[in-house]
Chain A
Amino acid sequence: MRRLGGGVEDEEKWLAEGIAGIQHNAFFMHRALDANNLREVLKYSALMLSELRTSKLSPQRYYDLYMRAFDQLRQLEIFFKDESRHGLPVVDLYELVQHAGNILPRMYLLCTVGSVYIKSKQAPSKDVLKDLVEMCRGVQHPIRGLFLRSYLAQVSRDKLPEIGSDYEGDANTVMDAVEFVLQNFTEMNKLWVRIQHQGPGTVRERQEKERNELRDLVGKNLHVLGQIEGVDLDMYKETVLPRILEQVVNGKDELAQYYLMECIIQVFPDEYHLQTLETLLAACTQLMPTVDTKIVLTQLMDRLSNYAASSPDVLHEFLQVEAFAKLNNAIGKVIDTQLEMPIVGAMTLFVSLLTFALRVHPDRLDYVDQVLGACVVKLSSVPKLEDARAMKQVVALLSAPLEKYNDIVTALTLSNYPRVMDHLDDGTNKVMAMLIIQSIMKNNSCISTADKVEVLFELIKGLIKDLDGNATEELDEEDFQEEQNSVARLINMLDNEEPEEMIKIIYVVRKHIMTGGTRRLPFTIPPLVFSALRLVRQLESQSGDITGEDVQATPRRIFQILNQTIEVLSSVPRPELALRLYLQCAEAASDCDLEPVAYEFFTQAFILYEEEIADSKAQVTAIHLIVGTLQRINVFGVENRDTLTHKATGYSARLLKKPDQCRAVYACSHLFWVDDDDLDGIKDGERALLCLRRALRIANAAQQMANATRGSSGPVTLFVEILNKYIYFYEKGNPHITPSDIQSLIELINTEMQSDNNNGNTRRTHSDPFFTSTLRYIRFQKQKGGLIGDKYDLIKL
């Protein structure tokens, strides 16, 4: 009975011997079968089955042996079925096989004949089944008993008196079938559990492994129960489930309890689970403390959730049985009683419960909040959460409502939501914050009240500011940018039609992002500024609506805030960015007819340009931006405008590189000739021309400089560009630009190009195509005729 640590090799040997024994006796059995000699058949089949009496094999190998014998028993069954071959009525045969002296062969033979007996219908199937399951008690050896009973289960499977089967009748009811399977299950479970009590502690581990291999033999019975036709809810509730659970609980065995609970959940219909939820959950709390109840419960809830999701018709059942309350209770109990359960376990349970609540009661936000509340309580009871898996579960917990409702707004109403988030570590907190933002993005949800914004920013504060203590932590630059870009995108999602509310939102956002520190501000301020500007434009478009004393949402007020906000940026220092924003604000202010404000912004921009922007490339960009903005702004009075244009032109001419100077200066020409339909637009042709001439001079100087330094005059690009400006203004009707100006410029370019070629510079300059197409344009306009064509007639090419 006890295996004395026999090695694998020995086992192989024993298995080989066993197989040989089976084959040997099977050979004689087959001979006897061919001769229809019952006596010999019984003798050799019993001898063959005696090989199964071995105690030396592990379950795996014993199974091997068993299968060999099993195949042979099929042949035997065919023989037993045919009365003409052995000449005995089956009832006599049933007695005859019981003469075998050894119990194991006897029981295998009895089961085999029993199945024939039932099939013959000479006795009620329930009686035969009852007899068989009862007689099998004689085999108390766990492994041999399990295999014997599994053989019984197998041969009887198609002979149960279930509804619709041949064997169901007046005397045989489905109850008998259930009774039979339950009894076989009970006995098998006892045998299975018993394995652990045998042998010394040193082999415990191997025993557990072996038991695990055997579990499906036991579980098979539950599968059969699940498949028996005619087990209705009442029967399940009154008989089947209580009997199974009794076994599970009383077995007091961790492995068995876990496996069997799993089986129960898997094999029986969802509907039954729902109706017996209380019983099932009560059993869960009675399991051994080491049983992983959470997985069991999780599976149960997952199944129920899926069931609920499968069809809306079943939802009322859930309400009827108060499924949520029961589950919630049970989980509370399990968590309270199983103190040693790791936090990750509790979290997994909460996730499942939450999923369940979301699927089954999508309308009950309070349930969700309740779960989160319980979670907070649990989290508060432990020191700082450090287990990465637990963290993952919490993230899952928090993500679930987002996915379900596709709307962060819902989550924002959950009072416990931020409290749960507080328990995450910073890294995870950020991950979670990102998830929230992504959810908002994905669903395009708009957060439209300041309160919600406040809550939201509280949630994602991990992204908004450095959390205490870990400012030194090295962050991956790319991740950081990704995060901050997300925040920036988020800010754009905050919107409300009502200016009053919107301004509040802006205040809230500002309050939060200002805490972000120098690294974050460059990301967060721009969207805030644009958000505010959008509000300004909105106010402008509905101007006059705003009345009242304490109204906050006036453009002037907003600009004040913006000014302060952008100022921060210049000290970050990101002056280029600040400059751009100032310009944006200036333009907006201009649209609002707020000249002083616009002027102030420009002043700020210029100051920045002077004081902070030192890089020549940045200067070039800045100048073009300033010029471009200034050109569009029409709010300034002559004086202010003069000051600003003057400044701009002045800066342009003082750029470092000549080509940059040239380009900036000709760009400035537009400041004096704003081409719009507005009649009182600025049309100072003379000063525009002055700018162009100046540009031409600079281009010349640049050319000469290039000649001097590099020996070649370089590209004529600048000239061509200036030519284009000439043509533009000419077309726009600037009276100071004459055809001869243009013509001479063209000639100048031609000469330059020739001289360039003469110098042996064969390099094709890129101005060539530009120039050619400019010329082509002029020709085209000439041909086209009309008002503009007439103008071009004056130019000779």
Chain B
Amino acid sequence: MNYLRGAFKPACNISITFTDGKNRKQVPVKKDNGQMVMNPLFQSQETIAGKVCIEPYQGKKVEHNGVKVELLGQIEMYFDRGNFYDFTSLVRELDVPGEIYEKKTYPFEFSTVEMPYETYNGVNVRLRYVLKVTVTRGYAGSIVEYQDFVVRNYSPLPPINNSIKMEVGIEDCLHIEFEYNKSKYHLKDVILGKVYFLLVRIKIKNMDLEIRRRESTGAGANTHVETETLAKFELMDGAPVRGESIPVRLFLTPYDLTPTHKNINNKFSVKYYLNLVLVDEEDRRYFKQQEITLYRLKEETS
């Protein structure tokens, strides 16, 4: 048995470690199988350096045609399974062809890597960054090891950030005026505003504020649009009368949001909307959707 297992087992153990792995911030990422793992966090223009350690199993030697490490930025469409588009691809050759008898460590470094897009896990699309170590072998197939890492990019405060203000209604039925204090929110922001009832002739049961994410993938005729409701937040319970003004205060922290992504590598876009929904006693829904821009604000390092 021992012998058999030995035959199919890779001949060596490859591990990838980052130089500042111990101090670097780790963020949870959901894997394909649903498990959460912690991955190190980087941002664009950072130098990604570390070590690759190859350790043959006891009493084995590894013959190879070279060892390399690649830094890949990939976009994966789920409906087009297995098809990766690499928008970034950097390679470092670590070793010339030869044999490895004992544990061998290769330092590597990708300096000031341009990583314009953020890691993203969507419904139909995934954008990921990965380090890929390949021990090339001729006959037995290459030995490959991956190490994911997460990229997040921070935006400055937008110079212009107007409030969203709107009057909508159905004639002789319902007229409301609502206002959100900004059109661009960072991910830890809080949406403030109010809904002012100018005319109420229907029996309203409640009013919710929803955060919806619209993910569109592909282009042209192949565009897939997927909309998810990420937050459903009750603003009002019961029927208001004319003249009531209902406050809006929605903290974004508890929701799993990403920045707005516009046309990432011509492959996909992610947009966010605030949807104000009024439900009447017959469960009819009256709603008005407004796009908001989400961005990631540099967190205060504490």
Contacts and interface: CB of A to CB of B under 8 A. Distances in A.
B140 to A, nearest CB: 50
A89 interface: no
Given A135-B249, A140-B246, A194-B241, A103 B236 contact: yes
B251 interface: yes
Interface of A is mostly: helix
A787 interface: no
Interface in A101-136: 101-104, 106, 134-135
A95 B238 CA distance: 24
A198 interface: yes
B237 A53 contact: yes
B156 interface: no
A135 B281 CA distance: 23
A135 B190 CA distance: 15
Contacts of A137: 244-247
Contacts of B68: none
A140 B243 CA distance: 12
Interface stretch (A141-149, A218-226, A322-330): A141-149
Give the one of B232, B237, B245, B281 with max A CB within 10 A: B237
B136 to A, nearest CB: 49
Interface residues of B, number: 23
Interface residues of A, number: 25
A87 interface: no
A363 B246 CA distance: 58
A53 B232 CA distance: 17
26 contacts: A1-B203, A1-B239, A2-B281, A95-B253, A98-B251, A101-B232, A101-B233, A101-B234, A103-B235, A103-B236, A104-B237, A106-B234, A134-B247, A135-B249, A137-B245, A138-B234, A138-B235, A140-B238, A140-B244, A141-B237, A141-B238, A142-B238, A145-B237, A190-B241, A197-B241, A198-B239
Contacts, number: 63
A1 B245 contact: no
A139 B244 CA distance: 11
A99 interface: yes
Interface in B210-249: 231-241, 244-247, 249
A104 B237 CA distance: 7
B205 interface: yes
B159 interface: no
Given A99-B251, A190-B241, 19 more contacts: A1-B205, A53-B237, A101-B234, A102-B237, A103-B206, A104-B237, A106-B234, A135-B247, A137-B244, A137-B246, A137-B247, A139-B236, A140-B239, A140-B244, A140-B246, A141-B239, A142-B238, A144-B238, A197-B241
Interface in A519-571: none
A250 B115 CA distance: 63
A443 B25 CA distance: 100
B203 A140 contact: no
A673 B237 CA distance: 112
7 closest pairs, A vs B, by CB? A141-B238, A140-B238, A103-B234, A99-B254, A140-B240, A139-B237, A102-B234
A688 B232 CA distance: 128
Given A2-B281, A98-B251, A99-B253, A138 B239 contact: no
Contacts of A95: 251, 253
Interface in B6-22: none
B236 A138 contact: yes
A42 to B, nearest CB: 11
Contacts of A194: 241
Interface string B180-208: 00000000000000000000000101100
B105 to A, nearest CB: 42
A194 B238 CA distance: 11
Interface in B128-142: none
A2 B280 CA distance: 12
A729 B38 CA distance: 145
Contacts of B235: 103, 138
A783 B273 CA distance: 137
B237 A144 contact: yes
For A2, A102, A144, the residue with the greatest tally of chain B CB atoms inside 10 Å of its CB is A102
Contacts of A104: 237
A95 B253 CA distance: 10
A140 B278 CA distance: 13
Nearest to B205: A1
B281 A138 contact: no
B250 to A, nearest CB: 9
B238 A1 contact: yes
A95 B205 CA distance: 26
Nearest to B280: A1
Contacts of A145: 237-238
Nearest to A103: B234
Contacts of B245: 137
A305 to B, nearest CB: 41
Nearest to A106: B234
A144 B253 CA distance: 28
Nearest to B231: A101
A106 B253 CA distance: 16
Nearest to A145: B238
B286 to A, nearest CB: 16
Contacts of B254: 99
A250 to B, nearest CB: 11
Contact of A98 (B231, B236, B238, B249): B249
Contacts of B240: 140
Contacts of A101: 231-234
Nearest to A110: B249
B228 to A, nearest CB: 16
Contacts of B236: 103, 138-140
A53 B234 CA distance: 12
Contacts of B253: 95, 99
B244 A138 contact: no
A59 B233 CA distance: 27
